[in-house]
A and B are shown apart, each in its own frame.
Chain A
Amino acid sequence: MKARKRERRRNAKPGGGTYVFRLFVAGNESNSSQARGNLARLCEEHIKGRYKIDVVDVLKDAAAAYKNGVLVTPTLILLKPLPKVTVLGNLNDTGQVLAALRLAGDER
Chain B
Amino acid sequence: MNSQKPPYHELETRMKEAEELFHALRTQQVDAIVGERHIMVVRLKQAEENLKSSRNQLRALAAYLLSAREDERAVIARELHDEFGQALTSLHLGLSWISRKLAPGQRRLQEKIRSLSAITTSLIRSVKNIANELRPGVLDELGLVKTLRSEAREFEGHTGISCRFKTNTARTKFDRSAAVAIFRIVQAALTNVARHAHGSRALITLMKKKNGLILMVKDNGKGISSKLIHRHDSLGITGMRERALALGGTFTLDGSKSKGTILTVQIPLSRVIVGAAR
A26-B41, A29-B43, A30-B45 known; A58 and B9 CB under 8 Å? no
- A26 lies within 8 A of B32 (CB): yes
The number of residues on chain A lying at the interface, defined by a beta carbon within 8 Å of a beta carbon of chain B, is 24
Specify which of B28, B32, B45 is in contact with A59 (CB 8 Å cutoff): B32
- Cα(A3)–Cα(B21), bound, Å: 25
Interface string of B24-62 (1 = CB under 8 A from A): 110111111110000101010110000000000000000
- B9 lies within 8 A of A3 (CB): yes
**Chain A residues whose CB sits within 8 angstroms of the CB of B9 once the complex forms:** 3, 6
CB proximity of A86 to chain B, nearest CB, Å: 7
- A62 lies within 8 A of B34 (CB): yes
A55-76 contacts to B, CB under 8 A, are 58-59, 62, 65-66, 70-74
Specify which of A66, A87, A89, A92 is in contact with B34 (CB 8 Å cutoff): A66
CB proximity of B11 to chain A, nearest CB, Å: 14
- B30 lies within 8 A of A31 (CB): yes
**Chain B residues whose CB sits within 8 angstroms of the CB of A65 once the complex forms:** 34, 39
**Chain A residues whose CB sits within 8 angstroms of the CB of B30 once the complex forms:** 31, 72-74, 88-89
- Cα(A12)–Cα(B39), bound, Å: 36
- A73 lies within 8 A of B31 (CB): yes
A3-B9, A59-B39, A88-B20 known; A71 and B29 CB under 8 Å? no
Q: Does B133 contact A (CB under 8 A)?
A: no
CB proximity of B101 to chain A, nearest CB, Å: 86
- B27 lies within 8 A of A89 (CB): yes
Q: Does B154 contact A (CB under 8 A)?
A: no
Measured as residues with beta carbon below 8 angstroms from the partner, the interface class of chain B is 20 to 34
Specify which of A26, A72, A90, A92 is in contact with B21 (CB 8 Å cutoff): A72
- B39 lies within 8 A of A26 (CB): yes
- Cα(A59)–Cα(B42), bound, Å: 13
A26-B41, A29-B43, A30-B46 known; A74 and B20 CB under 8 Å? no
**Chain B residues whose CB sits within 8 angstroms of the CB of A90 once the complex forms:** 29
A1-54 contacts to B, CB under 8 A, are 3, 6, 26-27, 29-32
- Cα(A3)–Cα(B33), bound, Å: 33
A65-B34, A72-B21 known; A31 and B39 CB under 8 Å? no
Specify which of B23, B28, B33, B41 is in contact with A71 (CB 8 Å cutoff): B33
- Cα(A70)–Cα(B21), bound, Å: 11
- A73 lies within 8 A of B46 (CB): no
**Chain B residues whose CB sits within 8 angstroms of the CB of A72 once the complex forms:** 21, 24-25, 30, 32-34
Q: Does B111 contact A (CB under 8 A)?
A: no
**Chain A residues whose CB sits within 8 angstroms of the CB of B29 once the complex forms:** 31, 74, 88-90, 92
Q: Does B82 contact A (CB under 8 A)?
A: no
- B21 lies within 8 A of A71 (CB): yes
| CB-defined A-B contacts under 8 Å, sample of 22 | A26-B41, A27-B41, A29-B41, A30-B31, A30-B43, A30-B46, A59-B32, A65-B39, A71-B21, A72-B24, A72-B30, A72-B32, A72-B33, A73-B31, A73-B34, A74-B29, A88-B23, A88-B24, A88-B29, A89-B24, A89-B27, A89-B30
| B contact set with A: CB distance below 8 Å | 9, 17, 20-21, 23-25, 27-34, 39, 41, 43, 45-46
| A contact set with B: CB distance below 8 Å | 3, 6, 26-27, 29-32, 58-59, 62, 65-66, 70-74, 86-90, 92
Given A31-B28, A90-B29, 20 extra CB contacts under 8 A: A26-B41, A29-B32, A30-B45, A31-B29, A58-B32, A58-B34, A58-B39, A62-B34, A65-B39, A66-B34, A72-B21, A72-B24, A72-B34, A73-B34, A74-B29, A86-B20, A87-B20, A88-B24, A88-B29, A88-B30
